[in-house]
Chain A
Amino acid sequence: MASPTSATLGEAGVAVPVVALIGNPNAGKTSLFNALTGSQQKVANYPGVTVERVSARLQIGSQSVEVVDVPGLYSIRAISVDEEVAYQAIVDHPSDLFVYVADATNLERNLFFFSQIADLQRPTIVAVTMVDALQRAGGTIDLEALEEALGVPVIPVVAHKGQGLDRLVEEIESALRDPKPCPPVGRSPGSPVDLTPEERYKWSSEVRSATITERPSPSTTDRLDAVLTHRVFGLAIFVGLMYLVFQALYTFAGPVMDGIEWTFGKLADAVSPSLEGTPWLQSLVVDGIIGGVGSAVIFLPQILILFFLIAALEGSGYLARAAFLMDRLLGWCGLNGRAFIPLLSSYACAIPGIMAARVMPDARSRLATIMVAPLMSCSARLPVYILLIGAFIEPKYGPGWAGFALFAMHLVGLVVAIPVVLILNKRVLKMKRLPFIMELPRYQWPKWRDVWLTMFLRGKVFLQTAGTIIVVMSVLMWALLYFPRPAGAEERYTAEYGRQTSDFRERVSEETYVQQRQIEESYLGRMGKGIEPVFAPAGFDWRLSTAILSAFPAREVVVSSMGILFSLGAEPDERDMVTAVQNATWPDGRPLLTPWTATGLMVFFALCCQCMSTLATVRRETNSWKWPVVMFLYMTILAYLAAVGIYRLSLLFGG
């Protein structure tokens, strides 16, 4: 990572000066970093978004400058892992210039940390953010008086509107050319001792009252909070909001999916005739690649909608309120309200969720959060739910219950996480109750640029997965299903078909029978039969077992595996996914999936640890192989037991 000397070497071997953006959490450092360097780092309206040191280049004329963004700090004394990272970037890896980012709407506290930075007596300039928000609330700021009081250049910026950036860049350039140490503030000349917090705050509150005028009025934030964190309605609104998210997701799903499915169908029809000559190539392209990738890409719209909603919530400032509402519940199982944000991020993807656990104030609660984060239902599980709910729940119970089922599937992981944390807590980690301090930021309209960016980046990641691992796995699955095709086998199967009862021949066409036999005799078919007994107690056949196994590297693969496995052997007019899984049967003609077994399958996917990247991230964050191994085992075993349990229940109740 960063070198211990301040300057890193540029391409030509010349030293590149380092400029660090530092300040309180949620002050707007990352917004500024993105605006200066054109980066696409995550911005959201709650403290503790950035948990890593990030750097990027800024070109000023002919000079190249390295800009560094770090997690926010409240004081120079770091107490959590993300703060440690920031502390090291500031103190251990000295930079050539600090840009101290100060939030104008919370100047007193922002200047407290500034006074500690000033004591380091290093070159510093100040960027004041949120001036627009201050003015909207009816306040004004006297920047000249502030510059006077701080003794360093002060530049107002509104990063997302690009205001003040030119001046900031100019000041950075001149401060690098002619570095002046920042004078200490708030002390009478000659006093050598470290100031107490009381003395620092006395100074900062004087500076604030000399520079900021505010008309006291009940703010929008207070009015919103009166409802949103209300004793009774608060929680109800929270649950209702989450319910709406999933209901929306389900309602919008259908039409868009149909559109994409139609497109891929047309694509297959267009390509198919030109490959007529080589049947295996035709099958590879149509069934393997187009079918496999198509059945995953179909879910892109849902993933985009989910990220749209999550990003809008993150940008508004509501998440910190949700943490406040959930603290009691989380505290009861030994976690703390802060864990809520990493857990909620895990609904998008466990990896940023696990990283976000760095904001937890101590190693043990952080570990507990990491261990349950992958139980939260990430967006990669969404396709399985939508497919199975659409095939088995909606036709029987209607769209209202389908939306509810989707909501319920997202609760499964959360509910299971509670006992897991309790056990980890009691037996393994022996946690103490941890301090919980959380700042509630001002509500803001989500910055639409950030929302689009999140959707765009996430969509890109999903398509990249579809383009790489899903293509590879699809081709592999297809090949293992297509081969071997010994000469004469087809005639043998046709003859076998002839010997079946007329009743059977009524139900299954000759073509389908031959294809199914071919699949059964393929490499994958034989392998699948080998592992079928393992999943038999859960009521899964060899095709479902194979799909499950294929999804261990990355669970995104599962729908394409199921698509290939089920549609290759389906009647030609039943090749769309939903019909194919609905009509799949056991060899004796019983339906393979019922609402019960479909639920079992969904719960299995909800709990199972099928993501290599998550395990790698856990390994990196915990610095040991022990925790990823424990995670993999406990999740997979739980998933298996849950699926078996549901199947047993279905036998009892005759589902």
Chain B
Amino acid sequence: MKIGELRCGDKAQVTGYCDRSDCVMRLCEMGLTLGTEFQVTKIAPLGDPVELCFRCQKLVVRSAEVSGIDVEKVG
């Protein structure tokens, strides 16, 4: 699954990376590491960008740019 397929309020976990773009690497350095649980807390009006909440911080990303991250819904 990709982050773009999650809905507002969903909780998910990082299960792998299928590319190593700058954006994906940077998110990883900011704490979205393998196995990290996060929540989609907000989706902007036209479906992008999305707000993710993990490790007590709120980050905004574009779903197309984080398609290199594989996730899996939890809970």
A interface with B by C-beta (< 8 Å): 74-75, 77, 79, 105-106, 108-109, 112, 197-198, 201, 205, 214, 221, 225, 229, 231-232, 234-235, 320, 323-325, 327-328, 331, 337, 361, 433, 435-440
Contact = CB atoms under 8 A, between A and B. Distances in A.
Given A74-B29, A197-B28, A198-B35, A437 B44 contact: no
A324 B44 contact: yes
B59 interface: yes
B51 interface: yes
Contacts of A361: 22
A325 B51 CA distance: 11
Closest 3 pairs between A and B when the two form their complex, measured CB to CB: A435-B23, A75-B29, A440-B58
21 contacts: A74-B26, A74-B29, A74-B30, A77-B25, A77-B29, A79-B22, A106-B56, A106-B57, A109-B30, A109-B31, A201-B55, A229-B51, A231-B44, A235-B45, A327-B44, A327-B60, A331-B48, A331-B62, A435-B21, A435-B23, A439-B57
Nearest to A198: B33
B73 interface: no
A231 B45 contact: yes
B31 A436 contact: no
B19 interface: no
Majority DSSP secondary structure for residues of A touching B: helix
Interface in B1-52: 21-23, 25-31, 33-36, 42-46, 48-49, 51
Contacts of A112: 29-31
Interface residues of B, number: 32
A437 B27 contact: yes
B65 to A, nearest CB: 5
A79 B26 CA distance: 9
A327 B57 CA distance: 19
Contacts of B30: 74, 109, 112, 437, 439
B26 A435 contact: yes
B17 to A, nearest CB: 11
A469 B38 CA distance: 56
Contact of A197 (B29, B43, B46, B55): B29
A328 B23 contact: no
B22 A328 contact: no
A225 B60 CA distance: 13
A439 to B, nearest CB: 6
A437 B26 contact: yes
B31 A328 contact: no
A324 B51 contact: yes
A533 B57 CA distance: 60
A225 B42 contact: yes
Given A225-B42, A229-B42, A328-B46, A440 B28 contact: no
Contacts of A205: 55
Given A327-B44, A437-B26, A105 B56 contact: yes
Nearest to A109: B31
Given A109-B30, A198-B33, A327-B60, A435 B65 contact: yes
